[in-house]
Amino acid sequence: MPESPREAIPQELQELGLFDHPDVQKNFVRPIGEHEREATLILEGITCAACVWLNEQHIARQRGVTAVDINYATRRARVRWDERLIKLSQILEAIAAIGYRAHPYDAAKSELLAQKERRAALWRLFVAGFGMMQVMMYAVPVYLAEEGTMTADIEQLMRWASLVLTLPVVLYSAAPFFSHALRDLKLRRVGMDIPVALGVGSAFAASVWATLTASGEVYFDSVAMFVFFLLGGRFLEMVARQKAARGVEELARVLPAFASRYSEYPDGELERVAVSELASGNVVLVSPGQIIPGDGSVIEGTSSADESLLTGESRPVEKRLGDMVIGGSMNIGSPLTLRIDRVGESTRLASIQRLMERAAVEKPKVVEMADRIAARFVGVLLILALATGAWWWWHDPSQALWVFVAVLVVSCPCALSLATPAVLTVATGVLSRNGILVTRGHAIETLARASHFVFDKTGTLTEGRPALMGMLAPGMLTPHQALSLAAEMEAGSEHPIGRALCEAAGKLPENRSDGVSAIHAITGQGIEAEWQDKNLRLGSPAFVGALHGLALPGGCLDWQAGGDMVIALGNSDGWLAVFRLSDRPRAGAAEAMATLREHGLQLFALSGDAPETVARVATDLGIESAMGGMTPEGKLGVIQRLQAGGATVAMVGDGVNDAPVLAQAHVSVAMGAGTDLARSQGDVVLLSNDLGHLAVGVAISRRTLRIIRQNLGWAFAYNVIAIPLAMTGWVTPWLAGIGMSASSLLVVLNALRLQRRCA
């Protein structure tokens, strides 16, 4: 079985130039424009927010790099570059030059790197813990011995034994602190490992000097204890962070490795093939309990599918002959024979993954602010530590070293850097499991702050599947001819009304009208064309009536008053046909609107449909304000007026004719079935099309914002309290290590609390 290009890449690739080969790039590099390319990478060696800042700054300075974003929680980087100015291999070389390694992102590689990181951290923690216990065995007798009861030679022997046992702790367990600090100094950067390296190094050096000169105090036990507690805290924080990131990457591991494909359908034999070998048009058999390997349709069998991972819909979805299936969902009923339509990067699952990756590396303003504060804080910390050490050296030299070390360690701003990205990573995973796909970094924060929700009607508040309920043909055409003519004008339309007319015409006997030409869609109004040397229009009664100025036929006004949609067909001679269509509100929409109102949100409904139709739907759903007959420009004006009044606006639409309005809103929510996910304008995509999940998403986003505030408040409060205590000598170095580790761990665990409460 041949390997895919990504699987064929050696684990320890020596020639970075191979990454420039098109066959290697096709699975992880995407074209953005004519010459711009984008890749998602995993970075090895990231230990703190300073590492993220350093890589972003260094990569951004490379000629030809147009954008770079790195997510601290997931270690993933999104890099864009102009291939005319720089190659991918040169970007990877630039990353390697500052002491990091980059790999093309895939879920398997990410998990391998996570396992490697955990193993290395466990070994370093084990050595530090073992060394700490052994050193304490020699330190405790010295502490407990009464003055004069332990001879100088025995005490010196204890010191040498402690030195030997502390060496592995400093040289192996604490080695990353020193190597990262050295790298930062070479690059003229003040990273978060510099204070730790200074603290450990100065304490160990002072103890070694005291041992060599047989004078002064030694603190090998405190050094070993400090390293152990610091590594212990970082290990727990790493495990919690990886758990949070694993929820975001869950989708990347959902597809099976193999599938059962028919060599010829229906008479051919079944063969086991790699999913990567499937192509459009292949026919596969999916047994109960197996994962569907690609997007397709049912050609034999009846079953149900679990699509919860992709849409958040917990109930199984029935699948019958002709129904569409989504790659990554699970067949849970009976065997299904499927014709595969899309595989690999063209599937809905791949689109969801790309949008999630984009959101994972985009930084909201609150994260950027915290990173800037943390980067500057380290420099301020070093000045404070030096000033404090100097003051103590002048007043009490015996305490100067330890106060200096404690100040360096206790206030390392790791918790501040973790406070926001950890929560956003967890929240993104929780939202995806509830059928809400976050595609932009700012979306969660803005959704939580939204004060006004504006809804499109057709395809959003309603099911978007209007059906033809009746028609009148007062002109020269028969009803069948008029409907066929309307269907010709709507041929290929993505609009729900156009699809309804085409579907209705398909049920009629063949009686097509010829001669329709120069078809031109007028957004928000209808369609214009040439037919029998006359201008022909299909759309709203006002749009069509402008050709001849005649009143609607009797009975049509009653349709409008009853809340049905009225679509007219006519030319300069008058009305050719009037169609009555009806569209049902989405199931659960009324309950979702009630929940949103309970959250204190103001609700609006905007639509190009007749005002009476929009008003009826809004009344049924409990929406306070409704406006019909709106053009896209009119909708845009409403959004702008709300924003001018200080409102934070969330726009919810199906993506059809809504792109300008979605782009104008502070945060936009696109219905997952509206348009192709890859072209979605939404900052958030409602994969399940269940508006009840939108209400859940608002609750989760608000809870996320509360936890971010809690984390930031804790991080600032910790530093405000801990630094003065350390400066006054109330905090020992090993206690400082515990405090710093505990503060980082606390913010991650607080973020995971969101996962537990919302699961």
DSSP assignment of 426-452 equals HHHHHHHHTTEEE-STTHHHHHHH--E
Secondary structure class of 205 (helix, strand, coil): helix
Tell me which of 252 and 462 has the higher pLDDT.
462
Does residue 655 surpass a pLDDT of 90?
A: no
Catalytic residue among 371, 456, 683, 690: 456
What is residue 311's predicted lDDT score, i.e. its pLDDT?
A: 62
pLDDT digits (tens, 9 = 90+) for 166-219: 999 999 999 988 888 888 777 776 666 777 787 788 888 888 988 888 877 777
Q: Identify the sign of the CA torsion 224, 230, 235, 236.
A: positive
Q: Please report which confidence band the pLDDT of residue 682 belongs to, taking 50, 70 and 90 as the band edges.
A: confident
472 with 555: CB under 8 angstroms?
yes
Q: How far from 596 is each of 453, 631, 671, 694, 705, CA to CA, in Å?
A: 9, 26, 17, 9, 17
Segment of 285-289, 419-423, 489-493 carrying the highest mean pLDDT: 285-289
What is residue 147's predicted lDDT score, i.e. its pLDDT?
A: 62
What is residue 380's predicted lDDT score, i.e. its pLDDT?
A: 78
Does residue 563 surpass a pLDDT of 60?
A: yes
420 with 207: CB under 8 angstroms?
no
What is residue 574's predicted lDDT score, i.e. its pLDDT?
A: 85
What is residue 145's predicted lDDT score, i.e. its pLDDT?
A: 66
Domain ranges (residues) in the chain: 16-105, 113-248+363-424+708-758, 255-352, 436-462+585-689, 467-582
736 with 410: CB under 8 angstroms?
yes
Q: What angle do CA 580, 586, 592 make, to 5 degrees?
A: 140
455 vs 460: CA distance, rounded Å = 7
Q: Please report which confidence band the pLDDT of residue 310 belongs to, taking 50, 70 and 90 as the band edges.
A: low
pLDDT digits (tens, 9 = 90+) for 117-140: 889 889 999 999 999 888 888 877
Token reading at 62: 């490379």
What is residue 170's predicted lDDT score, i.e. its pLDDT?
A: 92
> What is the length of the chain?
759
What is residue 603's predicted lDDT score, i.e. its pLDDT?
A: 92
Tell me which of 206 and 311 has the higher pLDDT.
206
432 with 438: CB under 8 angstroms?
yes
What is residue 10's predicted lDDT score, i.e. its pLDDT?
A: 42
Phi, psi of 306 (to 5 degrees): -90, 110
What is residue 28's predicted lDDT score, i.e. its pLDDT?
A: 76
Calculate the CA 614 to chain-centre distance: 34
- Output the DSSP codes for 348-388: HHHHHHHHHHHHHH---HHHHHHHHHHHHHHHHHHHHHHHH
- 456 as an active site residue: the answer is yes
Domain 255-352 indexed as CATH 2.70.150.10: yes
Token reading at 702: 């608000």
Q: What is the mean pLDDT of the chain?
A: 79
Q: Please report which confidence band the pLDDT of residue 451 belongs to, taking 50, 70 and 90 as the band edges.
A: very high
Pick from 441, 352, 350, 437: nearest CA to 26: 350
What is residue 9's predicted lDDT score, i.e. its pLDDT?
A: 41
The topology (CATH level 3) of 436-462+585-689 is Rossmann fold (3.40.50)
The topology (CATH level 3) of 16-105 is Alpha-Beta Plaits (3.30.70)
269 with 256: CB under 8 angstroms?
no
CATH classification code of 467-582: 3.40.1110.10
